[in-house]
Structure 1
Amino acid sequence: MGTTENFTARIARELSEAVQEYGLAFVMVASYFGSGSVFIASQAGIMHGYTLLWAVVGAVLLGVMAQDMSARLGIHGKPLMIFVREKVGKRLATAIAVFLSIGCVAWTLGLVAAVGAGVSFVTGGAIAWQPVAVVTTLVAIGVGLLNYQKIEQLMIVMMMAVMVLYLIVAGWSNPDLGGVALGFVPTSDSLGALAIAAGLLGTTALWPNFFLESILVEEKGWTDEGDVSDARQDLVLGFTVGGITTVAILVVSAAVLQPMGFTELESFITPGEALVEVLGTWAMVLFIAGVTAAAFNSIIPIMWTPAYIIPQAMDIDVDQSSRLFKLVFVGLTASGFASPIVSSVLDLSVVDMVILFPTYNGIFGLPLAALLLFWAVNDRETMGEYRNTTALNVVNAFLVLLAFVLAVFAVQDFLELLFGGGF
């Protein structure tokens, strides 16, 4: 008995130490891996089979590159929005912060709708998704006011659980391994899927994380050059988990839904309904549990972003214990109450919202944030000897260029879908 207890205690201690040493990337990944990621990946699999797997890998690599820039900025320089304010002044910085925060509000509208739809399904439709979305907003506000360490631990547990759930379903879906392998190579067939590719990029290389990472590295005690390697290991670990999960979802959709004749996600539970036909009821349960957990996971870190960057743009120093931080977080997260109204006015289903609103951020928020981040890590005054090298600039400039190119090519399709009643 004593040996077992000692072994258990040692494992618990090692896990606790690992969480303390790493974990920030799981907050970043949890913020991007919401219901939008689930449904964009599902839509990609249904519409284009395995052909966009390369885009998932590319989005993950670009996400790691962007977060590496942000981490180095926080360690050697200052948080990104503070840099912006010092360079362009409070008025323009505040306008930028407010413009970007509109994207965070859009995300929240879709995320609380997704949680509501998941709970509604579990109750057999006895409760509509709209009132559940309101309750979800209240719960998100309460959880988001917890201290950072508690949030980080929650995100690690939930992200690992979501990955396991989807890997189980993917393993049972019996995908075409040859097709999967070919999907990791871009082809001419992918050129007709740029709007979905932009959505994958916009929901993986998540612009709020560019700001958050530069702020939260201090929470991990990463403050000098020796900590950069820890930050990078953390990023690789966290984004690998997120990338594997996204690949699993896309593979399931391509292997199961596309052969059944689906051409789009007709409702929130379409992927789950189809999985039941092939894999059994358990697949539906796992699917709904994964979507609901992923959606709720995303709300908190995404809505932390405006609570940090709006005061910082106004030259007001805040942390998570600050009254102003809490007021902005609560006030903007409360926008989730309007989710049913937005759905009704724009005639958008829950699926439309959780796909289109991350795409909005990929088109409008990501290019701007990527450009600001690229500027910051190349600023001699801010970064000194630690500014980007030529090699890093070549790689990092690709993120900025790709973000702008995808935005230009995808914006027309996005606007038609947004104001035309969705997919």
Structure 2
Amino acid sequence: MSTVDLTDSASIPSISEFFQKYGLALVMVASYFGSGSVFIASSAGVRYGYTLLWAVVGAVLLGFVAQDMSARLGIHGESLAAFAQEKLGSKLATAVMVLLSIGCVAWTLELTAAVGKGIVVLLDLQAIGWEPFAYLTGLAAIVVGVLGYDAVEKIMVAMMFGLLLAYLLVAGASSPDLTAMATGFVPTGLSPGSMALAVSILGTTALWPNFFLESQLVEKKGWTDRSDVPTMRRDLAIGYAVGGVTTIAIVVAAAAVLRPAGYEQLQTFITPGKALASILGEWAMVVFLVGTLAAAFNSIVPIMWAPAYMIPEALGGDVADSSRVFKAVYVGGVALGSLSPLVHQYLGLSVIDMIILFPAYNGVVGLPITALLLFWAVNDDEVMGEYTNGWKLNLVNSALILLAIYSAWSAGQFVFDAILTGGF
């Protein structure tokens, strides 16, 4: 297998050489970069202008470090789900993985609803409604998700670079105030409202299913010993740079165009596209909405891969290595996640309710459990040996745990009440 050193400026890698060494981090970034992330980034620009750009940088750094710990666990020890099975026993570990997997299905519910709603708006199909397109989105995700890792990685990478270019195009056409942008990378004039939105940005970037996936999928890239850690970290740098710059572009576009136009808040994730169209032209709405649809669909596959790896690993034995069980869990999970029209009908949750509440549910339930499990794993001598966390990484991991606990404590009751009582 030929390889290429990307540190050599004279060497330009081919596409095949790039995928031999890199790409996993872009799959991880694709999973968090969904309709919820687009909505939150747009809201940050509308409500606070450029002042929360520092939170995007902080979120990228936190995501990078969390994924680094997960990758090192997979390289030096084992997957996070296998660690849970070893330490908690098969029954308890399986119960925990099933509990976490409910959150992945909830995520998929909001993503299928978002794609369906976006298609209706983009193609002016209100007479049909978004519900049929939600079912079709789930079917498409099932087809893509069972193609195998290599094919999915190429699709995710292409779509993430496409999103980067699309949102940079919109941000550039917005003629942003470069001086104000520069000041936005320094935290100033913080308020409870801006800090709450900053926590939302952090929470959507540090996506807990990725902690399981990264530790599981490093083997797919051939990263199996200490010599592979630098390659893994370069991969993370590429992936999170793409994700961070794309998020910044969305914040900038909203701050430069929507905020001066008098928008104070966004009613739906589609609002930014419509508003941009009224100011920059219809092309901006098309680019923005197509990007949002791609981002939402992009998230479904890796998010639902997580339970498909987690549950068999927790059961252990031959089940852990069974591709049939993997596909059955994945297909079943996505099928359940395609039922967003029924959630809308029987729980009374709108598409925007699902987009906000189901990721929030994961922040309340999934993130604290997974952050604590990851902390335990990367500090376990039996698993990590001499590669356990140092105090600096433990400090960052502790910050992630505190963020997770704070989110659960501050928003838990509200999130559950809103889900069970028909939304906002």
TMscore range, shorter length: over 0.9
Matched with 2:94 is 94
Partner of 1:78: 78
Amino acid at match of 1:74: G
1:281-319 Cα deviation digits (max 9, x unpaired): 100110111011111111001000001111111114557
- What code does the residue aligned with 2:85 have? R
CA shift at 1:89, angstroms? 1.2
Unaligned runs of 5+ in 2: 1-10
Between stretches 216-225 and 352-361, larger displacement belongs to 352-361
Q: Relative to 1, partners in 2 of residues 1:319 and 1:242: Cα closer, same or farther, differing over 3 Å?
A: farther
Q: Look up the equivalent residue of 1:284 and give its one-letter code.
A: M
Partner deviation per Cα, 1:251-301 (whole Å, 9 max, x = no partner): 212222222232332234211110011110100110111011111111001
CA distance in 2, matches of 1:58, 1:89: 36
Partner of 2:231: 230
1:3-402 maps to which residues of 2 (within 5 A)?
14-125=14-125, 126-317=127-318, 322-402=323-403
- CA displacement, residues 152-207 of structure 1 (integer Å, 9 cap, x when unaligned): 01111000000100011011112233332232223453432444333322221110
Count of residue pairs brought into register by the alignment: 413
- Cα distance in structure 2, aligned partners of 1:317 and 1:393: 34
CA distance in 1 between counterparts of 2:26 and 2:265 reads: 30
SS at match of 1:366: helix
- 1:416 positional shift: 5.6
Change (3 A) 1:95 1:204: same
* Alpha-carbon offset, residue 44 of structure 1: 2.2
Once the two structures are aligned, what percentage of the paired residues are identical?
A: 61
User: Are the structure 2 counterparts of residues 418 and 199 from structure 1 closer, same or farther at C-alpha, using a change threshold of 3 Å?
Assistant: farther
> Residue 34 of structure 2 aligns to which amino acid in structure 1?
G
Alignment match, 1:4: none
Which residue identity does 2:296 align to in structure 1? A
Mapped partners of 2:261, 2:347: distance in 1 = 30
Q: Which amino acid aligns with 2:325?
A: L
Bigger CA drift: 88-97 or 213-222?
A: 88-97
Q: CA deviation at 1:321?
A: 6.5
Structure 1 gap segments, 5+ residues each? 1-10
List per-residue Cα deviations over 1:85-118 (Å, max 9, x = no partner): 1111112211210111111011100111111112
Contact map agreement 1:348 1:421 (CA 8 A) in 2:
yes
CA shift for structure 1 position 422:
4.3
- Cα drift, residue 419 of structure 1: 5.0
Report the 3-state secondary structure (helix = DSSP H, G, I; strand = E; otherwise coil) of the residue aligned with 1:265.
coil
d(CA) in 1 for partners of 2:308, 2:390: 32
Residue identity opposite 2:168 in structure 1 = L
Q: Which SS does the other structure have where 1:260 is aligned?
A: coil
- Shift of the 235–359 alpha-carbon distance from structure 1 to 2, 3 Å rule, reads same
Q: Partner letter of residue 255 of structure 1? A: A
| Matched-pair contact (CA < 8 Å) for 2:175–2:256 | yes
Once the 2 structures are TM-superposed, how far is the Cα of residue 84 of structure 1 from its aligned partner? Answer: 1.0
CA distance in 1, matches of 2:413, 2:26: 33
**Taking structure 2 as the reference length, what is the TM-score of the superposition?**
0.92
TM-score normalized with structure 1 length: 0.92
Matches of 1:235 and 1:343, distance apart in 2: 37
Q: Secondary structure at the match of 1:259?
A: coil
Distance 1:370 1:255 in 2: 36
Q: Deviations over 1:11-65 (max 9, x none)?
A: 9971210112100001101111111111111122223332322221111111111
| Cα deviation, residue 351, structure 1 | 2.5
